[in-house]
Amino acid sequence: MPSAEPVRPVRPAVATPAHQRAAVLHGPRDLRVSDRPVPVPGPGQVLVRVAAVGLCGSDLHYYADGRNGPNVLRQPTVLGHEASGVVLATGPGADRHALGTPVAVEPAHPCGRCAACRSGRYHQCPRGTCFGSPPTDGALSERVLVPEDFVHPLPEGLAVREGALVEPLAVAVHAVRRAGVTVGDRVLVTGAGPIGLLVLQVALAAGAAAVEVSDVSAARLRCAAGLGASAVHDAAELPPGPAATLADPAGFDVALDCSGNATALAAGLTRLRPGGTAVVVGNPTSDTTALPLAWAQRQEITLTTAFRYSAGDFPAAVALAASGRVRLAELVTATFPLEQAPQALETALTDRDQLKVLVVPGRSPAAGAATTAKEARS
Ligand SMILES: NC(=O)c1ccc[n+]([C@@H]2O[C@H](COP(=O)([O-])OP(=O)(O)OC[C@H]3O[C@@H](n4cnc5c(N)ncnc54)[C@H](O)[C@@H]3O)[C@@H](O)[C@H]2O)c1
Ligand SMILES: [Zn+2]
Ligand SMILES: [Zn+2]
Q: Residue 77 has what DSSP assignment?
A: E
Per-residue model confidence (pLDDT) at position 302: 97
Residue minimizing CA distance to atom 5 of ligand 1:
308
Confidence check: pLDDT of 343 > 60: yes
Instruction: Kindly give the distance from the C-alpha atom of residue 193 to the centroid of ligand 1, in angstroms, as a whole number.
Output: 6
Site to probe by mutation for ligand 1, drawn from 215, 269, 332, 355 as the one with most ligand atoms within 8 Å of Cβ, is: 215
In the prediction, which pLDDT does 368 show? 43
Q: Is the CB of 215 under 6 A from ligand 1?
A: yes
3-state secondary structure of 347: helix
Q: Say what the pTM is.
A: 0.92
Calculate how far, in angstroms, residue 129's C-alpha sits from the geometric centre of ligand 3. 10
Enclosing H/E stretch for 233 = strand 231-234
Residues above pLDDT 90, as percent of the chain:
81
Average pLDDT for the chain? 90
In this prediction, residue 198 carries a pLDDT of 98
* Ligand nearest, relative to CA of residue 215: 1
Which three-class secondary structure state does DSSP give residue 218? helix
Centroid of ligand 3 to alpha carbon of 108 (angstroms): 11
Tens digit of each residue's pLDDT (9 = 90 or more) over 80-116: 999 999 999 999 999 999 999 999 999 999 999 999 9
Ligand minimally distant from the alpha carbon of residue 126? 3
From ligand 3's centre to the CA of 370, what distance in Å? 39
**Cβ within 8 Å of residue 118, ≥6 positions away:** none
Say how many Å lie between the CA of residue 190 and the centre of ligand 1: 8
What percent of the chain has a predicted confidence (pLDDT) above 70? 89
- 111 alpha carbon, closest ligand: 3
pLDDT at res. 363: 63
- What domains lie within the chain, and their CATH numbers? 19-153+328-376 (3.90.180.10), 178-305 (3.40.50.720)
Terminal C-alpha separation, the chain: 36
The finding on whether 235 has its CB within 6 A of some atom of ligand 1 is yes
Confidence tier at 286 by pLDDT (50, 70, 90): confident
Q: How far apart are CA 349 and CA 330, in angstroms?
A: 19
- Reported as a single tens digit per residue, the pLDDT across 50-82 is 999 999 999 999 999 999 989 999 999 999 999
Residue range 211-219: average pLDDT?
A: 96
Least confident of 142-151, 198-207, 266-275: 266-275
DSSP state of 141: B
Q: Which residue would you say has higher pLDDT here, 307 or 365?
A: 307
What is the helix (H) or strand (E) element at residue 277, kind and residue range? strand 272-280
| Sign of CA pseudo-dihedral 58, 64, 67, 69 | negative
* Closest atom, ligand 1, to C-alpha of 306: 1
User: What's the pLDDT band for 17 if we cut at 50, 70, 90?
Assistant: confident
Encode pLDDT of 153-205 as tens digits. Answer: 999 989 999 999 999 999 999 999 999 999 999 999 999 999 999 999 999 99
Contact predicate 259/279, CB 8 Å: no
- For the CA of 194, the nearest atom of ligand 1: 16
| 82 C-alpha to ligand 2 centroid (Å) | 6
Confidence label for 284 from pLDDT (cuts 50, 70 and 90): very high
Answer whether 261 contacts ligand 1 (Cβ < 6 A). yes
Query: Does 355 sit in the ligand 1 pocket, CB within 6 Å?
Result: no
Contact assessment for residue 315 and residue 152, using Cβ atoms and an 8 Å cutoff: yes
Q: What is the DSSP letter of 250?
A: T
How close is the Cα of 283 to the center of ligand 1, in Å?
Answer: 7
